Amino acid sequence: MKNVKIKMVGLPNKVVPNVFVDGEFINCKKNNFGSYEAEIQTEKDDIEITISRYFELKSKLWWLYALISFIVSIFGILEPPYDKKCISINCLFKVKLNDDNNQITIQFNTLKPNGKAAILTPNNQFEEIKNEYFVDKTVKVRKIILLVIKLLVWIGIAILVGYFISKLF
């Protein structure tokens, strides 16, 4: 068995990465310094590391999640804001493993659209297949749609409150 330690540093606080090793989801734990760490064991000589970012506005039932969170958060007052830039991560690395020490550190760059996402510093040989930040247009459009709907709901609430106040006096 080969032990592999993966450490990801430099990610902003709001970004939670999805890490897959050979197509299997790996649960990464955040340490006290804000970096993510994972430790895996494998029999293979090389592994494929995929890192992406998950947006709830990208899922199939995004409208249902948005509706429930809008109502539960008292019509959006207590709802945390969505990421304004909608920048996603697309990284794919193939790493050859040693027999003993397999420490892989992934240093992320600042979030810039169409930029290089990370710098991989293993003590092994690696191949960089994909390594980019990109603006997720689907998420950006859905975020704008959600903002317009929230604005229309708030205008409707203001009209209803004005109507009921005018009926009282």
Question: 62-90 pLDDT, tens per residue?
Answer: 999 888 988 898 888 888 887 788 888 99
Question: Is pLDDT of 4 > 80?
Answer: yes
**Do 87 and 117 contact (CB within 8 A), yes or no?**
no
Q: How far apart are CA 5 and CA 83, in angstroms?
A: 30
CA torsion sign, 113 to 93 to 2 to 24? positive
**Do 56 and 64 contact (CB within 8 A), yes or no?**
no
Dig out the tokens for 55 from the structure.
Answer: 């947006």
Structure-token match 């710098």, residue found: 119
Confidence of residue 159 (pLDDT cuts 50, 70, 90): very high
| pLDDT at residue 144, rounded to an integer | 92
| pLDDT at residue 111, rounded to an integer | 82
What is the pLDDT of the chain when averaged over all its residues? Answer: 88
Average pLDDT over residues 154-166: 94
Dig out the tokens for 91 from the structure.
Answer: 């990284």
| pLDDT at residue 151, rounded to an integer | 93
**Do 3 and 34 contact (CB within 8 A), yes or no?**
no
The DSSP code for 69 is: H
Whole-model pTM? 0.81
What does the pLDDT look like over 11-70, one tens digit per residue? 887 788 899 999 899 998 988 888 899 999 888 888 999 999 888 888 899 999 888 988
